[in-house]
Amino acid sequence: MRLLRIFSMVIVPIFATALFIFPLKAGEDDQAPERIVFLGDSLTAGYGLDPGNAYPAVLEEMLRERGKAAKVINAGLSGDTSAGGLRRVDWILRKPVDTFVLALGANDALRGQPPEATKENLRGIIDKVRARQPRARILLAGMLAPPNMGEAYAEEFAGLYKALAREKGVERIPFLLEDVAGREALNLPDGIHPNVRGHKVIARNLLPFFLGLDKGNDGNVAPAQQGDGADEKSGHGKVAD
């Protein structure tokens, strides 16, 4: 009984004081951040830039500014292909994933790989994600082939993303570099990789997919805001290395 009185007189007041000085923040314990993984190539890795300027990091900052708790993991690797992504996705899936964004294929097109082979690799990645992380939401980011590959190849390559998204029942981002590709002011001097401004446009275009906003017809993302180069001359340009 004496110990109980000591506890009541000493321990409880100390605990109450600690709560007063260090109060729990609202939602701190009941809202774990959404874990978003981007599997991609140099376009995702932020080639030539500080990692903090790559669009996955910019997207995380934009989401937090809008009150959405998110942890974005950048699994971009310069030079990666759909085959490379298929080989390394198991390692990436070791930790929990809430949303998985598949942004590969640009280097496949640059190398002239048959679109059907790219499609098969991307299908394999989606299947692995579903097997390892069955509750994960999957988004497939579309890519375009460079003009020098010819019209027939470009059409077949662009079509594989729409067909695969429909086949596997995943959401589709029509073109990762929408409003960025071919715009000199939004790319590095190589004309291939987005610069800091370009990555901001990509991140802004992706926001609707993570904030539950209207993405337009057929999954189209919202257009970039003026002031980020969205009003400059457009073109599909080249693809990543």
pLDDT of 107: 98
Q: Is the pLDDT of residue 113 over 90?
A: yes
| Residue 241: active-site member | no
The pLDDT tens digits for 214-223 are 454 344 433 3
pLDDT of 212: 81
The pLDDT tens digits for 200-217 are 999 999 999 999 864 543
Catalytic, out of 8, 90, 127, 190:
190
pLDDT of 106: 98
The pLDDT tens digits for 16-44 are 334 333 343 444 445 789 999 999 999 99
Closest CA to 237 of 151, 161, 147, 149: 147
Average pLDDT of the chain to the nearest whole number: 84
Q: Is the pLDDT of residue 147 over 70?
A: yes
Higher pLDDT, 22 or 75: 75
pLDDT of 225: 40
pLDDT of 24: 39
Query: DSSP letters along 21-69, please?
Result: HSPPPTTTTT-PPEEEEEEESHHHHTTTS-GGGSHHHHHHHHHHHTT--
**Token duo for residue 109:** 């097109």
Per-residue b or e along 178-203, where b marks 16 or more CB atoms closer than 10 Å to that residue's CB: bbbbbbeebbeeeebbbbbbbbbbbb
Superfamily of domain 37-219: SGNH hydrolase (3.40.50.1110)
Q: Going by C-beta distance under 8 Å and a sequence separation of 6 or more, which residues neighbour residue 87?
A: none
Count other Cβ atoms within 10 Å, centred on residue 141: 27
The whole-angstrom separation of Cα 176 and Cα 214 is 17
Residue boundaries of the structural domains of the chain: 37-219
pLDDT of 2: 52
Q: Going by C-beta distance under 8 Å and a sequence separation of 6 or more, which residues neighbour residue 139?
A: 99, 100, 101, 102, 170, 171, 172, 173, 209
The pLDDT tens digits for 181-199 are 999 999 999 999 999 999 9
pLDDT of 98: 98
**Token duo for residue 78:** 């310069």
The whole-angstrom separation of Cα 110 and Cα 142 is 14
Catalytic, out of 41, 42, 80, 82:
42
In one letter, which amino acid is 111? R
Catalytic, out of 179, 193, 199, 228:
193
pLDDT of 241: 46
Q: In the structure, what pLDDT confidence band is assigned to residue 180 with cuts at 50, 70 and 90?
A: very high
The whole-angstrom separation of Cα 76 and Cα 37 is 9
pLDDT of 30: 54
| Residue 199: active-site member | no
Mean per-residue pLDDT for 160-172? Answer: 98
The whole-angstrom separation of Cα 105 and Cα 102 is 9
pLDDT of 5: 53
Mean per-residue pLDDT for 2-7? Answer: 46
Q: At what angle do helices 115-132 and 151-168 cross, to 10 degrees?
A: 20
| Residue 42: active-site member | yes
Cβ proximity of 120 and 56 under 8 Å? no
**Token duo for residue 221:** 């993302």
Q: Is the pLDDT of residue 239 over 60?
A: no
